[in-house]
Structure 1
Amino acid sequence: MEDNRIWAFEESLWTGDADHYRELIDDECVMVLPEHPFVLTGRAAIEAVANTPRWSQVAFSEQQVMRPQEGLIAIAYKAEAAKDGEAYTAYCTTTIRRLEHEVWRVVQHQQTPPPVAAVV
């Protein structure tokens, strides 16, 4: 997958609807999120995030793309998201794997908000 498609895929996870989100997250995913219970796996991870309101916009910076092996992509980035006057910043990682030609699923995602004093 080319870099521009990777970032479009990732953006769609932040802004797409719940059905779109469920379609792109693997049943065997693991997530670490900044809210209790923090560590989530499988269907619990999918439903925890799918059932939250979607961001209306997100911007990525500090973007890194790694391809450790064929069919596996790991990315890291800073996300700055907004919706209805609410803002959110986090440093994130996502790992996606190819299931078949042009079919990719998220198998890992993590979000770490910066300390409050560090948010600019």
Structure 2
Amino acid sequence: MDDDRVWSFEQSLWTGDADHYRELVDDECLMVLPQPPFVMSGSQAIEAVASTPRWSEVEISKGQISRPQEGLIVIAYHAKASRDDEHYEAHCTSTYRRLEHEVWRVVQHQQTPPLVTSPATESGE
């Protein structure tokens, strides 16, 4: 899968409908998301995502792609997603494995929202 198709594939997971998501996420997938239960298996993640509203837009930036072996793609990126008046931001990773020629499934996905830091307080306050 070339780089443009990788990013198109990943973006479609954020914006596609539930059937599209079910088609592209492997039953053996493991996901870590920033809300309970945090760690999910493929079937749990598929049903959790299928029952939530899809994002209408997602901006992917700072993307990196690794191909550690034939039939395996690992990506890392920053995502900004929105729908209606809701906005979401996270650092993400996904891993795809090839099942057959041009047929890929997500086997790992993780999202980490940016850390919230407070300004350093001056001594004596």
Instruction: For residue 42 of structure 1, report the CA deviation from its aligned partner.
Output: 2.6
Q: Secondary structure at the match of 2:37?
A: coil
- Unpaired runs of 5+ in structure 2? 119-125
Instruction: For residue 78 of structure 1, report the CA deviation from its aligned partner.
Output: 0.2
- Unpaired runs of 5+ in structure 1? none
Instruction: For residue 117 of structure 1, report the CA deviation from its aligned partner.
Output: 4.2
Q: Secondary structure at the match of 1:34?
A: coil
Percentage of identical aligned residues: 70
Distance in 1, Cα, partners of 2:56 & 2:49 = 15
* Structure 2 residue aligned with 1:39: 39
Instruction: For residue 116 of structure 1, report the CA deviation from its aligned partner.
Output: 3.2
* Structure 2 residue aligned with 1:83: 83
The number of residues matched between the two structures is 118
Query: CA RMSD of the aligned region, Å?
Result: 1.1
User: Which residue identity does 2:51 align to in structure 1?
Assistant: N
Matches within 5 A, 1:1-120: 1-117=1-117
- Deviation string, structure 1 residues 64-100 (Cα, Å, up to 9, x no partner): 0000000000000000001002110000000000000
Distance in 2, Cα, partners of 1:116 & 1:17 = 31
Structure possessing the higher radius of gyration over alpha carbons: 2
Distance in 2, Cα, partners of 1:94 & 1:21 = 14
- What is the TM-score with the length of structure 2 in the denominator? 0.91
- What is the TM-score with the length of structure 1 in the denominator? 0.95
